[in-house]
Structures are given as structure tokens and as C-alpha cells.
Amino acid sequence: MIYGIGIDLVKIERMKDVVNRWGNKFLERVFTETEISYCYSKKEPYLSLAVRFAAKEALIKAMGSEIPVSLTDIEVINAVSGKPDIKVSGRLEGFFIEKEIRQVSLSVSHEKDYGIACVVLER
């Protein structure tokens, strides 16, 4: 049974502007060390940062914004196959247990100017 669905769109240039303005202060508040390392290993790190940010926002929307969430408690990871996935920790992990959320499905995409993510939470 579907618990919630969320979607978010991020302009890649906006992500670049925010990172250039706030630097590590922003990055460390929003992304895990693993995410930062992964994104900066890419030719276009802002594209990867934008889709990860969109995924985090989409997850919060799918939850219905029921509890305050630290964005670093949401980590976008890649399976060996390259498929994106979400790993949760902290308060969010407890929320998933309480609400019996058993499956998180994530789809991300991007084109020249935008990154988008869709999350489906299932019980």
C-alpha cells in the first residue's frame, strides 16, 4: 500500500549559486560526506547535488512533512547497478519504523537546466 508520493524539481544553476555563495557550510548542512564525495567525483557536481537535493525534498513531501527532518538523515546512494536509492537514519529511521514504511522507491532525472526526483513510500 502506498503511504505517500513526493516530487521535487531543482534548477541546477541555482544549486551552483548556493554552493558558491555558502560553500562547505551549506554542503555539510544538507549532504552527507559520502554524497559530497560522490558528487565532486563527477564532471558536473552541481547536477548530482541538485538531483540529490530534489530527492531529499521529494522524500519529505512523500512523508507529508509529519516530523522535522535533518537533510543529512536522508542519504541518496547508488546500488552497484547504478540505480539510485535512499538510506535513512536518525529520527527519520524511527518514523519509518513507526509508520511501517518498508519500501522507498526513488527515480531521478536531469537535463540541461533541471534535476528532478520522485519518491514513493510503501507500507
Q: CA geometry: angle at 60 spanning 25 and 102, to 5°?
A: 120
> Which candidate in 25, 56, 61, 83 is catalytic?
61
Catalytic residue among 16, 87, 99, 110: 110
Type of residue numbered 32 = T
Q: Phi and psi of 100, rounded to 5°?
A: 60, 40
3-state secondary structure of 91: helix
61 is catalytic: yes
- Looking at the DSSP bridge assignments, the partners of residue 10 are 115
Q: Has 16 been annotated as catalytic?
A: no
> Residues 6 or more apart from 24 whose CB is under 8 A from it?
none
- For residues 118 and 99, is the Cβ–Cβ distance under 8 A? no
Contact by Cβ (8 Å): 108, 7:
no
* Active-site residue list: 61, 110
